[in-house]
Amino acid sequence: MNPSTKIFLTGHRGMVGSAMHRALLAKGCDNLALRTRQELDLCDAAAVHAALGAEKPEVVIVGAARVGGIHANNTYPAEFIHENLASAHNLIHLSWKHGVKRLLFLGSSCIYPREAAQPLTEASLLTGPLEPTNEPYAIAKIAGLKLCQYYRKQYGVLYHSAMPTNLYGPGDNYHPENSHVLPALLRRFHEATQNGAPDVTLWGTGSPLREFLHVDDLAAGCLHLLGLDNPPDWVNIGYGSDVTIKEVAEIIRDVTGFQGELKWDTSRPDGTPRKLMSSDIIRDTGWEPKIGLREGIEQTYQSFKDELAAGTLRG
């Protein structure tokens, strides 16, 4: 991507958006339009129209969305489908209206059917029922992906999508109930260590398998896609292997120095039994992850402590 290209990066305060921001600046791409949610609510079509008209970007990166773990999806289903549908439609439709030539939309691995064969391929989209615990969010993400696909087909604009696996890294949301599993575990083990607790109780059975990708690898993957002349309509971005929740909990126990016992609250939902993505297509275009899980968790724990000390920890 040409460093002088005018890029509108949404969600730059979020985990993915801030990683994209770091990656763009590292590549000398500093001709950026940025707005906080307070400055621009992406669910407000008139405000999005005005912002695109004022900034006239050449590229739009959709890093903003209403995101959360199993508990948040279960508790706020209407908000999750409304906010993610509205913000995706506003950005994709109005970007086209304003002549934006290129747009990258971010979805998630939950777009794929609950029972689809693992690893999940791009071709398994819409071949079966979704995981009920996050269906509202998944449907909004599928709609965004399809908006890009059909605006590209009808109008010839280069709108395309990336489907990341579970992400973690600096700037994550550590809300005790609404966050994703990895940041929730990091916070819980940190607090247990600080308080000298004898044990930590974790949700579910510990047996679900999950794939985790460091957000800086994801950002590099997105910039890689934005550099392709003919990217796929949608493509997975994953780490390539998965671990059980029990295994990642044990890595986090080690990294935080917790000495106590692990207990499992099996009355809490496990979610999808396994969610490993096939990343063959993006790997065939020359991208692969660089940050290993243990190294990534060590780095993320350091940024967690820094954010805590600085009073900037989210959640």
Ligand X SMILES: NC(=O)c1ccc[n+]([C@@H]2O[C@H](COP(=O)([O-])OP(=O)(O)OC[C@H]3O[C@@H](n4cnc5c(N)ncnc54)[C@H](OP(=O)(O)O)[C@@H]3O)[C@@H](O)[C@H]2O)c1
Binding string, 165-204, against ligand X, x = CB under 6 A? Answer: -xx-----x------x------------------------
Nearer to ligand X, 41 or 58 (CB): 41
Nearer to ligand X, 161 or 256 (CB): 161
User: At closest approach, how far in Å is the CB of 228 from ligand X?
Assistant: 19
Q: Tell whether residue 164 is a contact of ligand X (CB under 6 A).
A: yes
Among 37, 56, 153, 294, binds ligand X (CB under 6 A): 37
- Name the amino acid, one letter, at 62: V
Nearer to ligand X, 109 or 192 (CB): 109
Stretch that binds ligand X, among 58-66, 119-127, 256-264, 288-296 (CB under 6 A): 58-66
Q: Tell whether residue 43 is a contact of ligand X (CB under 6 A).
A: yes
Among 22, 34, 41, 303, binds ligand X (CB under 6 A): 41
Among 64, 130, 147, 219, binds ligand X (CB under 6 A): 64
Q: Is 10 exposed, middle or buried (0-12, 13-18, 19+ CB in 10 A)?
A: buried
Residues numbered 106 to 125 that lie near ligand X (CB under 6 A) are 106, 108
User: At closest approach, how far in Å is the CB of 261 from ligand X?
Assistant: 28
Binding string, 82-111, against ligand X, x = CB under 6 A? Answer: -x---x------------------x-x---
Among 23, 51, 61, 63, binds ligand X (CB under 6 A): 63
| Number of other CB atoms surrounding residue 275 within 10 Å | 24
User: At closest approach, how far in Å is the CB of 212 from ligand X?
Assistant: 8
Stretch that binds ligand X, among 25-33, 123-131, 162-170, 251-259 (CB under 6 A): 162-170
Residues numbered 227 to 246 that lie near ligand X (CB under 6 A) are none
Among 21, 59, 61, 66, binds ligand X (CB under 6 A): 66
| Residue with nearest beta carbon to ligand X | 14
SS (H, E, C) the chain: CCCCCCEEEECCCCHHHHHHHHHHHHCCCCCEECCCCCCCCCCCHHHHHHHHHHHCCCEEEECCCCCCCHHHHHHCHHHHHHHHHHHHHHHHHHHHHCCCCEEEEECCHHHCCCCCCCCECHHHCCCCCCCHHHHHHHHHHHHHHHHHHHHHHHHCCEEEEEEECEEECCCCECCCCCCCHHHHHHHHHHHHHHHCCCEEEEECCCCCEECEEEHHHHHHHHHHHHCCCCCCCEEEECCCCCEEHHHHHHHHHHHHCCCCEEEEECCCCCCCCEECECCHHHHHCCCCCCCCHHHHHHHHHHHHHHHHHHCCCEC
- Beta carbons within 8 Å of 283's beta carbon, 6+ residues apart: 240
Nearer to ligand X, 109 or 258 (CB): 109
Q: Catalogue the active-site residues.
A: 137
Query: Contact positions toward ligand X, by CB under 6 A?
Result: 11, 13-17, 37, 40-43, 63-67, 83, 87, 106, 108, 164, 166-167, 173, 180
